[in-house]
Structure formats: structure tokens, C-alpha cells
Amino acid sequence: MADPDTGAVLRRILHVSDIHCGFPFVAEHVAAALQVAATSRIDAIVISGDFSQRARVKEFERARAILEQFRAVAPTIEVPGNHDTAWWHAPFGWGDASRLHDGYRQYINPVLEPVVRVPGVTMVGLNSAAGMLPQAVTWYPRDWRVKGGLTASQFDWAQRELAASPAGDLRLLVVHHNVVRGRLSHRWGLKQPETALDRLAALPVDVVCTGHDHEARADVVPRRTGRFLVSGANTLSSRSRKHRPSALNVIEATASQITVRAWGYHEGVFVPGPMSATLDRR
């Protein structure tokens, strides 16, 4: 660990999302993301869901090979996305909800809500990809199969896991669905988003990592219950909104502050861009 008084980076986290193995997959974007991981002294890697496009075996097999390459660089944490969820097994809660994530469990991670602790970093994952279960279903058909949901018991569990982290740890919560409203889509990722924001801000968390909305985001989110940084990673696929470049985020923590910065894809590589947000750790 570097001397805290120098302002040097103590921890660096790579955050990628929405690989979408299937027809939107872009091998060059994934290769460039792996290059960032290999050359940037990364302490851990966050992958916030949508490994597949249609939760098919071939897509998960390809995603598994990519995940193994990231794991060869640094410890990873991953959560499922709505595209990884076989919602048709339990539409509107009817059917066998235990099968929603069969493919994800087999090929990506048998644990849907992992806790990963590395020196100086605590990462907790929450599964917001509930398919068409009640916690994610709204009255609007456009939301069906897409909207995410989190329950009170999930927030309570995250509270306990994050509170158990050593003093001084960089604390990350990983959720697939965007927790802030999209600037381009104008859509919330979660059902009951305002309630979710208050619950998130009350957690002992520094950064909430999300994907889903296919738009790069780096913001400080102030609420009456607290505040946190949001790291919204853009997709690595061809489905970026408004034809904007694919992007990933890099999270850096010094002794006094945490910064999230979006890196955009340009001429075969990801390069740091102007979008960033900083939270004072003091």
C-alpha cells in the first residue's frame, strides 16, 4: 500500500458490463477491455451482468471463456443481468422460479449474490435480475422481463456484509440494473427506484456499480439517508445508446477520495475520457 500522504492510488478497480455474447457481441471491445485489465495494475474486476443475449448455452460458454481471462488478471465479482435470466420459467411468478438462473449458475457463477474480499476492498453483489417475479413486475408491459427488483431482505443482507468489512476498505455494491435514471433512455432500472436510492444511500457503501442502461455514468448521488458514488458502465457490445462509443469505468481510491472515470473506445483501445465523479472519503 502506498503512503497515504502522497495522494497515490491505493486501489484500482476495473468495471465492465453488458458483454452480450450473441449477435451484439464485439470481440474487439472485449479484447481492449482485457488489455486495460492486463496493463493498469488492477486490484479487482467488476462485471455487472448481461453476459449473454438470450441466456443460451453457447452464449454462456463464450462468456465463460471471457470471464476466465479476466479472472487470470485479478479477482472478479459478477452478478446476473436480465438477459442472463430465463424469465419464461416463472412468468408473473407462475412456474419454477428456481430455474431462472440455471445457465448463469452453471457457466458463470453458482452464487448469485457473491461477497468478494481482497486486501483493502470489499465487494458485495445483489441479484436484481428477477425476471417476471413480483419484486420486478410493474403495470407497464414495456417493463416486463426488463425491469429489475430488490427486496428489503436483500438490502438488509447487504448492510450486514458491507458493515463487516475492515475499516478503511473501499466498499463496492454490484447490481445489474441502473439505480439512477438514464439520461438518454429516461428510464429507471429498478422498480420503486426512489425507495431503492434511499436504501442504497443508507448502506455503508462507497460505490454502487451498475450496468443495464448501456450509458456511461459517473455521479455522486446525495440522498436524505446518505450519499454514494454511482459507477454505471456502458456496454462492451454494439448496443450502446445513441451510437456512442463503447465504454468501461475505472474506479480509483486514494486515502482521501474515490474517483470513477469512464474510458471510451477509440481506435482499438479504451482511453480515459472527461466523464468522472469524485467522493471525499473523509
Check residue 47 and give its pLDDT. 98
The two beta strands, 247-253 and 269-280, are: unpaired
Q: Quick one: cell of 7?
A: 495522494
Check residue 6 and give its pLDDT. 56
DSSP letters, the chain, are ---GGGT---EEEEEEB---BSTT--HHHHHHHHHHHHHTT-SEEEE-S--BSS--HHHHHHHHHHHHHHHTTS-EEE---GGG--GGGSGGG-S-GGGTTHHHHHHT-S-SS-EEEETTEEEEEE----TTSTTT--S-GGGTTT-B---HHHHHHHHHHHHTSPTT-EEEEEESS-SS--TTT---SBSSHHHHHHHHHHSS-SEEEE-SS-S-EEEEEEETTEEEEEEEPPBSSS--GGGPPPEEEEEEE-SSEEEEEEEEEETTEEEEEEEEEEEE--
* The amino acid at 16: V
Spatial separation of the C-alpha atoms in residues 194 and 86, rounded to whole Å:
27
The per-residue b/e assignment along 55-77, b for 16 or more CB within 10 angstroms, e otherwise, is beeebbebbeebbeebeebbebb
Reading the chain (282 residues) residue by residue, the pLDDT tens digits are 444 445 798 999 999 999 999 999 999 999 999 999 999 999 999 999 999 999 999 999 999 999 999 999 999 999 999 999 999 999 999 999 999 999 999 999 999 999 999 999 999 999 999 999 999 999 999 999 999 999 999 999 999 999 999 999 999 999 999 999 999 999 999 999 999 999 999 999 999 999 999 999 999 999 999 999 999 999 999 999 998 999 999 999 999 999 999 999 999 999 999 999 999 997
Q: What's the chain's Rg over C-alpha atoms?
A: 17
SS (H, E, C) 189-233: CECCHHHHHHHHHHCCCCEEEECCCCCCEEEEEEECCEEEEEEEC
Spatial separation of the C-alpha atoms in residues 136 and 258, rounded to whole Å:
31
Spatial separation of the C-alpha atoms in residues 253 and 74, rounded to whole Å:
17
Spatial separation of the C-alpha atoms in residues 280 and 262, rounded to whole Å:
19
Give whole-number Cα distances, 2 to 103, 168, 224, in Å: 41, 14, 34
Q: Quick one: cell of 124?
A: 458485495
Q: Quick one: cell of 192?
A: 420503486
Check residue 265 and give its pLDDT. 98
Give whole-number Cα distances, 57 to 13, 22, 31, 101, in Å: 29, 11, 22, 12
Report pTM.
0.96
